[in-house]
């Protein structure tokens, strides 16, 4: 058993949404630390910092200032060192184009951010179940 859980990287510019994600993860008893940055540029700086642990999961908002989610995906999925980190898009966008581009860029999941906290917890339970299975020893 690992003594140190890998972090979850949350890329979200809205503080309320970031708090909702943290609350949902806490309710699910997810013990991984959450590293929070506010845009794609900050996320790339985090990912390229050799002193930081590589995240086990990236939760990504699409609509952010400086560098948005689609641009961030294009950079990370084109980088051999980063492309295998699973990314789940959490967005308020209902643009079909955003969804298609996200999947074309290799996201593991795409979730429209619900306003309702309980719905969000259910979505995170699904993600948690997936990643519990994926963490099983081979």
- pTM, entire model: 0.82
- Position 46 pLDDT exceeds 90: yes
Residues 6+ apart with CB under 8 A from 76: 44, 47, 58, 82, 83, 85, 87
- At residue 49 the predicted structure's pLDDT band, cuts being 50, 70 and 90, is very high
* CB-based contacts of 107-116 (< 8 A; 24+ apart in sequence): 107/60, 107/73, 113/17, 113/61
Q: Report d(CA 70, CA 137) in Å as an integer.
A: 32
pLDDT in tens, 66-124: 898 999 999 999 999 998 898 988 888 778 888 899 889 988 878 777 556 676 666 66
DSSP assignments along 97-127, one per residue = HHHHHHHHTT-SEEEE--S-HHHHHHHHHHH
**No. of helices (H) and no. of strands (E), the chain:** 5, 5
pLDDT in tens, 22-35: 888 888 788 889 99
- Predicted confidence at residue 95, as pLDDT, reads 82
Residues 6+ apart with CB under 8 A from 133: none
Question: For the domain bounded by 8-133, which CATH number is listed?
Answer: 3.40.50.2300
Q: What is the DSSP letter of 25?
A: H
- Position 2 pLDDT exceeds 60: no
- Predicted confidence at residue 96, as pLDDT, reads 86
């Amino acid at each position: 058993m690992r003594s140190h859980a890998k972090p979850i990287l949350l890329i979200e510019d809205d503080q309320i949404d970031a708090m909702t994600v943290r609350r949902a993860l806490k309710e699910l008893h997810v013990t991984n630390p959450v590293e929070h940055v506010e845009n794609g540029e900050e996320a790339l700086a985090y990912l390229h910092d050799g002193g930081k642990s590589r995240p086990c999961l990236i939760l990504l908002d699409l609509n952010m200032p400086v560098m948005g989610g689609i641009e961030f995906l294009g950079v990370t999925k084109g980088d051999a060192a980063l492309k295998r980190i699973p990314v789940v898009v959490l967005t308020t966008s209902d643009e079909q184009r955003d969804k298609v581009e996200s999947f074309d860029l290799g996201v593991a999941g795409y979730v429209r951010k619900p306003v309702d906290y309980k719905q969000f917890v259910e979505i995170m339970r699904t993600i948690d179940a997936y990643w519990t299975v994926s963490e099983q020893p081979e």
